[in-house]
Structure 1
Amino acid sequence: MKLRSGFVAELAVNFVLPWLAYRLALPHLGETRALLASAAPPVIWSLVELARFRRVDALSVMVVAGIVLSVGAMALGGSPRMLLLRESLVSGAVGVAFLLSLGMRRPLIFYLARATVAREMEGGAQRFEALWRERPAVVSSMRLMTVVWGIGLTAEILLRAWLAMTWPIERFLAMSPFIGYGIYGALALWTLHYRRTMRRRAEEPVEAAPSAS
């Protein structure tokens, strides 16, 4: 994917600026209020996107949802084992949301993929919408990706929760990064392979219907 200025700006607003806001606010406001302050950049960006293009930025929504869940996890209690699961609550909630979106006309993966294509090429969003309408294979591919990511992310939080409650904290801290990165890495590699397959399908010419003799 080519790094265009809009894509770089989106990454900065959704990841760099929230981290910077959190670090600057932490000494003065405490952890909870600092987390809330970190939500300001993606919220403002999402409002600007809505005003300019009449669309909500999916990445910003996911980042803000993660911050809100982190604040909620802190409110539930500060026990060491609860804090071990705080970061996984975000991915777990996203996984459940993916699975629930299968009941919608368009699953969540569709909106994330459309946003990615829109950043990669001029008129990418319109092209992606056309592919969705004209190629049933793209629809089934989007739903399959939603299922795979939904199950993967949900399984990750369930596995982490079981390990956090049964393993010693030291062992969990040592093994947790390997578990998380292993699952995310497997999902990412599968997605890259499957995306190439989808791209080949999208580039295939649509066969004209045979004329009646």
Structure 2
Amino acid sequence: MTLHTVPRRTGAAALLPLLLDLALPLGVYYGLRLAGVDQWWSLLWSAAVPAVTVLLRLARTRRVDFVALLVLSMIALGLVLSALTGDPRTLLVREAWTGMLGGLLGVWLLASVGYGRPALMVLFRSFVQVKAGEDGLRAWEARWHQDAGFRHGLRVLTAVWGAASVLNALAQLAIAHLLPLDAAPAAMHACWPVIAVPLFLFHLGYTKRHGLRA
């Protein structure tokens, strides 16, 4: 019998998407501002960075990715609106509305808590399957019918993830509208990491303490 292993990504390879999606646009914006470029053009070029990375990924995989196309369309819409209005804040608001997609995910998570199985259980299936195999997945899903504590724990976890996603979306929208233009890009990029770190720590502790892991 031949064992097939999944190649592990190196630390640099795992950090590269984070660098491209978060650090690079900020570096472009603040680098141009330090060079004396005005806010509109700085935001314009920094907004082009995610579009270029999405196009490169599409070219590399040669697959039509709905999420990638959605991101490109949102970027294009923001650039057109900003060009028509000449207002740099329009680009920031466009980024915030892109973040609202995560808010919609949060609303879906919250809505699922009170109806049927919580959505996080659906999202966890692939992780459980990879970790525990088909038998482990069946045993994990069977706990939904057998263990009231398991059901309660997954509902709590789903509600927390949903609330965090909605909070991130609303915070980004508020930042885009209220903060000074030069402060807003950094604050918007820092918003999710600030929420995500305690969220992941809570997730790890809660799943271990309540036996929710496969």
The TM tier, using the shorter chain, reads 0.5 to 0.7
Two-structure CA RMSD over aligned residues (Å):
3.5
- Determine which of 38, 58, 64 is the counterpart of 1:37: 58
Query: 1:53-76 deviations in whole A, cap 9, x for unaligned?
Result: xxxxxxxxxxx6643542442354
CA contact (8 A) 1:99 1:147 kept: yes
User: Could you tell me whether the CA contact under 8 Å between 2:93 and 2:177 is conserved in 1?
Assistant: no
Q: Please, which of 85, 89, 95 is the counterpart of residue 84 of structure 1? A: 95
- After TM superposition, the runs of 4+ consecutive aligned structure 1 residues lying more than 6 A away are 38-43
Give the secondary structure class of the aligned counterpart of 1:121: helix
Q: Does 1:162 align with 2:190?
A: no
Matched, 1:178 2:190: yes
In the superposition, the TM-score normalised over structure 2's length comes to: 0.61
* Residue 114 of structure 1: aligned partner: 125
1:109–1:146 Cα contact (<8 Å) kept: yes
| TM-superposition CA deviations, 1:29-62 (whole Å, max 9, x none) | x86993893796787xxxxxxxxxxxxxxxxxxx
Task: Check if 1:73 corresponds to 2:98.
Answer: no
Alignment partners' CA distance in 2, 1:87 and 1:157 = 9
Do the aligned partners of residues 202 and 186 (structure 1) sit closer, same or farther apart at CA in structure 2, a change above 3 Å counting? closer
Match of 1:153 in 2: 165
Q: In structure 2, what residue type is equivalent to 1:116? A: F
Shift of the 102–35 alpha-carbon distance from structure 1 to 2, 3 Å rule, reads farther
AA partner of residue 141 (structure 1): G
Identify unmatched segments of 5+ residues in structure 1: 20-29, 44-63, 204-213
- Residue 87 of structure 1, CA deviation: 5.0
Percent identity of equivalent pairs: 23
1:154 and 1:195, CA in 2 relative to 1: closer, same or farther beyond 3 A?
same
**Structure 2: runs of 5 or more not aligned:** 21-50, 83-90
2:107 maps to 96
Of 132-141 and 107-116, more deviation after overlay is shown by: 107-116
Q: Give the structure, 1 or 2, with the largest relative contact order (CA under 8 Å, sep 6 or more).
A: 2
Q: Secondary structure at the match of 1:155?
A: helix
| Equivalent AA in structure 1 for residue 55 of structure 2 | A
Change (3 A) 1:8 1:87: farther
Preserved contact between residue 54 and residue 68 of structure 2 (Cα < 8 Å) = no
Q: Are 2:110 and 2:163, in contact at CA under 8 Å, matched by a contact in 1? A: yes
Is this contact kept in 1: 2:164–2:199, CA < 8 A?
A: yes
1:127 and 2:130 matched: no
Secondary structure of the corresponding residue to residue 210 of structure 2: helix
For residue 113 of structure 1, report the CA deviation from its aligned partner: 2.2
Question: By how many angstroms is 1:172 displaced?
Answer: 1.1
Partner of 2:208: 196
The Cα offsets for residues 123-159 of structure 1, whole Å up to 9 and x where unpaired, read as 2211111111110111111111111111111011101
CA distance in 1, matches of 2:7, 2:153: 25
